[in-house]
Amino acid sequence: MGTYSNNPYAGSRSRGPVTFEIKHQDKLDDIFEKLPAQYAKKPVIATFRKGANEVKKAMRSELPGYLKVTKKIISAKAGKSKNYPSLSVGFFGRKAIYVNSKGQQWDPFMLVYWHNYGTLANRQPGHPFKKARKAKSSNMQGGIRPRLFVEKAIQASHQKALQVVENEFEDQLMKFLKKHAVQ
């Protein structure tokens, strides 16, 4: 079994892994036993990257026009777990700097986060924010209203990404088996 994590934000809760069945599980188990973990995960991560491209395209297309400058922070990162391969897709911070008209510098991740989940009184009620509103702003009304474009992009591309993963996995596995000649 493998997982494909479609987490739109680094550090936030995952929407839950997608589970799929691997046809050549016995061959894959042999590979995992004979090779170091970093080599055995390569075909799985390569497959996940192909599926992640569909999600990245959807995220770029769902971005509101005024946030198009943030599309360069959309990427896929392989998980660091030694037990199972995983890949996170989404907007990742610390990749660029956005400078507004006042000269203030912001991490583009925060701009996407605010516009996706809202700010002040307009915060998305279903999202588990890590920090509550500060006392200073607790009585302020208004704010950026939530647009939830990340969720829309994930829902729109989820099935297509799964199809790509299912179709691509056997090809990647066969390439890997031929390269390492496991009989």
Domain count, the chain: 1
* Predicted local confidence at residue 46, as pLDDT: 85
The parts of the chain modelled with pLDDT lower than 70 are: 1-25, 27-40, 181-183
* Predicted local confidence at residue 24, as pLDDT: 64
* Predicted local confidence at residue 25, as pLDDT: 66
Mapping DSSP to helix (H, G, I), strand (E, B) and coil, where does residue 115 land? Answer: helix
pLDDT tens digits for range 90-125: 888 887 788 888 998 888 898 899 999 999 889 998
List the domain range (segments joined by +) for residue 15.
Answer: 2-180
pTM: 0.69
Identify the CA nearest to 145 among candidates 121, 109, 129, 126.
121
Mean pLDDT (the chain) is 80
Identify the CA nearest to 161 among candidates 71, 59, 50.
50
Mapping DSSP to helix (H, G, I), strand (E, B) and coil, where does residue 128 land? Answer: coil
Identify the CA nearest to 20 among candidates 182, 173, 154, 156.
173
* Predicted local confidence at residue 8, as pLDDT: 47
* Predicted local confidence at residue 93, as pLDDT: 82
* Predicted local confidence at residue 3, as pLDDT: 43
* Predicted local confidence at residue 146, as pLDDT: 94
* Predicted local confidence at residue 21, as pLDDT: 59
Return d(Cα 13, Cα 129) in angstroms, integer. Answer: 10
